[in-house]
Structure formats: C-alpha cells, structure tokens
Chain A
Amino acid sequence: MTEQINEPIDVLVKFHKTTIFPSFFKWRNKTYKVEKVNLVHHLRDGENKTYYFSVSDNLNFFRLAFSTRDLSWKIEELYSQG
C-alpha cells in the first residue's frame, strides 16, 4: 500500500566521496534505519535542486527528499507490503 506523505523528518546522513546517504531518519517519533539506498535522482526547479532518495528497510519503502533551497529533509512516500 502506498501512502503519499509530505512531512519534515530528521535525518542522519553518511558522507562518502561525492555522495551522501541517509542512514537513519526520525519520523513521527520513530527512528528508522535505512538498510538500502536503492536509487537517487534529482529534479531542478530554478536554482533549487531536490534530491530524491528511494530507500528501504526490511519492511518498507520510503521516498525521502532533500531540498538544496533550505537544506530540509522530507518524507514524501511510504510503501508497506500487505
């Protein structure tokens, strides 16, 4: 089941060479550990660039968005099986 969300989150990221990967994020008072970053893509809107991280843990898929305009993180989508 897919749920469209648009809520701010706290994220702990890992920097590696020229890339960054979200490792943990806190959403609705629960901390999630990112098991895998499956895909990263970006979308430009004027000078703002939003990076989308398609990540998953063992049970869920999350789409996290990082905006370069205000350096904010959001969770945009959640997919859970069942």
Chain B
Amino acid sequence: MKKQSIIMHLDMNSYFASVEQQANPFLRNRPVGVCAYLSDNGTIIASSVEAKVLGVKTGCKVQEAKRLIPDIFLVENEPAKYRCVTERIFKILREYTDAMEPYSIDEAFLNLTGWAKDFKAAEQIACEIKRRICDEVGEWLKCSIGISYTKFLAKFAGDIAFRGSILIISEANIDQELDRELTDAWGIGEKVAVKLRCLGISNLYELKKTDPLKLRHYLGVYGYHLWANVNGQEISEIKSETDLPKSIGHSYCLPKKTDDKKYLLKILFKLCEKTGRRLRSLGLEAGSINLYLAYVYGGHLNKTFYSFDKVFTTQEIFNPICSFIEQTDLLIPIKMIAVSVNRLTADTGQLSIFYNRVKNKNLSLLIDKLNDKYGEYAVRSGLMLGTDNLAHDRVGFRKTLEVNNENTEL
C-alpha cells in the first residue's frame, strides 16, 4: 500500500507590512500600508492586520487608504529587505525536508513524507518552525500553516486557517472543511464559480461529490483537476528549487501614461536588460520573447516573438521588440509594460550561421561581470541614460525569489 503523503504549506501573514513592523517596533499595532509608490495613485501592495480591519486591503490606492485611515503609516516597499527575511525563513524550512518549493516570496510547500511519521509529527514540526521564525527571524512575524496529503489541500488548509494557526486536513475532516464557498479554494475565481453554480454546485463539498465526467464535459481537463483537488488526488508535486524557471520577465507601471515611443523604448530596454541579466546569471537561453502593453482605458496588446537562434543577450531580447514598437501605431496611451523570455533551456553554446553570436555573448557576459563588480548599470547601453529613477527593483509575488544560499548574516 502506498504511503500517504504529508505536505505542509506555510504562508506568512500580512508579510511585507509585518516585516516593516518587525523592523520598526513603533509601527506595531498601528495601521501600516506598504506601497508600490507613495504618490496618491500608488497602490497598497500589503497592509497590516490593523489596516485590513479598517478596510485598507491589497490593491487599494494610496489616496483611498488615506481617506479610510487618515493616520495610516505608509511606507514604500523595500524588496531587498523582504528577500533577506524570506531567505532566512526558507533556510529554516530547508532543515526539515529535502523537498521545499518556494511558491512565492511569502509562501512555501514542504514535502514531509518520510520526514514526519504522521500528521501529528508534522504538526510538531509546524510548531517548531513557527517558534524558530519567531526566535531567529523576528518576533512579529506570524505564519499560517496547513498540513494535508496533497499540495492543494495543504494550501487550502493554510489559506483557511486562522491567522498564525495550524490546520490539518485529513480524510477524517475533509468533508467538514470543504463546506465553504467555492472561491475559498486555490484556483477558483469568481468566473469559474459562476460556471460551477450553473452546474448546480454551490460549495466545495458539492464539487467533491459531483461526477468528474460531468465536470470534464463542461469545463474540460480543468474541471477534472478541480474535482481531483477537492477529492485529495495529487495532480502536481512539490517542485524542487533547482527546477528551471518556465519564464523570466519584468513589468513596470509607467509613472507617465504615454504613447511616446522614445520614452517607452528606453524603459523597454531597461526591462530587457534586467530580464537578460537574470537569464544569463542562471546560465539559460530563451526560445521566445513576449511583450505585453496595457492600455490606459483597458485592453492590452500581447505579442510573442519566436527566434530561430536562441536568445541570450539584452540586445537579442530588445531587437524584435524595438522593431515591433517602431512599426506599430500606438493610438492609446500605455499604462503598463512587461517583457518576458520563455522556452528556456540551458545555454548550449550553439553557434549561428547567420551572425557571430559568440562575440556578442562574450561581450554580454563581460559586461555582466563588470556590473557584478562595480555595481548594477556601471556599464550600460546609452539607451538607458536617464532611466535611473524608472523601473526600480520590484517585489515579485510569484516564483521570483531566486535561490540564494548566500549567508545573510555577517
């Protein structure tokens, strides 16, 4: 008989705001909002528990937050600070298993199968992890932990657990815990919930009891996956930290909504450089490039460029984007731009019959080396002049925490 898996999901509560309250104890028990930018149009990317209670939630505009809570303390986000704290937390988690998947900057999955005898032992590990985060990282940092036998159920348990608590979903209590709104589950948004309601399914327990063939008929494979998830069937496994990323990219909400191509190309080049830097630092090359432009009045333009030769240098990422922008009439101002590279593979050193790739690759690597030594953008293209205050380092919410085993202590 196959041994039951033991999966743990850890989710830090009000993470960025808690880190700010950890750093500055005078902000504790006060409403705090961590913003992308402090300007009135900036967005709150994390709010403290105290701010949430008063209505300031993630996504709220700074102007609105100030209206709701006049004495809210607003602070601009500091990615380096959150990454350092995350790395310290993940370092603790790695001591309990060899299979830890960082899911985002404040969430991780641990496969404790073989490391914990049963759910009771896993719960003890969870208590120990909570205590160690408190003692070794910061006493103000709280987390919710879910434990179950699949990834989905572990995350579901972590999501519905009370703030700072541990919830175990086993075969004994799964039906009881699933007696909740459809949208309480990971991966079910309002649109899917509407479709499920049309099929007569009004909560997660009913989803569990529905015929999977019916779900597959109406919602395709996705419908079957929903059924498998709530029935405790594993359809995805814990991915090792060493797995290659599927894509690498950067986005930027423009401070100036515009259709000025010169301005847009400057920022696009910087995004390409940041993307290229990460691509090269991981020793990868890409098979395609994606450009995304969001318009001010809604709607977007999404364009994928496929390349005969693998893409490695910043210039190789930028060239098709530049040609496209120059040939396209932008009739509506742009509010957000994003660049990503996809179809990633390890750098093969493949030569090109069309041009001298090796020379350009070596030049790129040399520039990266110089920037590693003398600081970011110490050597840069003239296209990036005047972009120092644009497209700063940002916090990625999903899968953007690159594994960094560097000791965060002195």
Contacts and interface: CB of A to CB of B under 8 A. Distances in A.
A59 to B, nearest CB: 9
B81 A79 contact: no
B371 A46 contact: yes
Nearest to B140: A38
Interface stretch (B19-27, B177-185, B270-278): B19-27
Mostly, the A contact residues are: strand
Most B CB contacts (10 A, CB to CB) among A45, A63, A81 go to: A45
Contacts of B19: 39
A79 B376 CA distance: 30
B372 A46 contact: yes
Nearest to B80: A43
Contact of A38 (B24, B84, B376): B24
A41 B24 contact: no
B408 A79 contact: no
Contact of A41 (B25, B84, B372, B376): B84
A26 interface: no
A58 B409 CA distance: 25
A54 B372 contact: no
A38 B378 CA distance: 33
Contacts of B408: 40-42
A19 interface: yes
Nearest to A42: B84
Contacts of A54: 22-24
A47 B254 CA distance: 31
A46 B375 CA distance: 3
Interface of A: 18-20, 36, 38-43, 45-48, 51-52, 54, 56, 61, 63, 79, 81
Interface of B: 19, 22-26, 80-81, 84-85, 138, 371-376, 378, 407-410
Given A39-B81, A46-B374, A51-B410, 13 more contacts: A18-B407, A41-B80, A42-B80, A45-B375, A45-B376, A46-B371, A46-B372, A46-B375, A46-B378, A47-B373, A54-B24, A61-B24, A61-B26
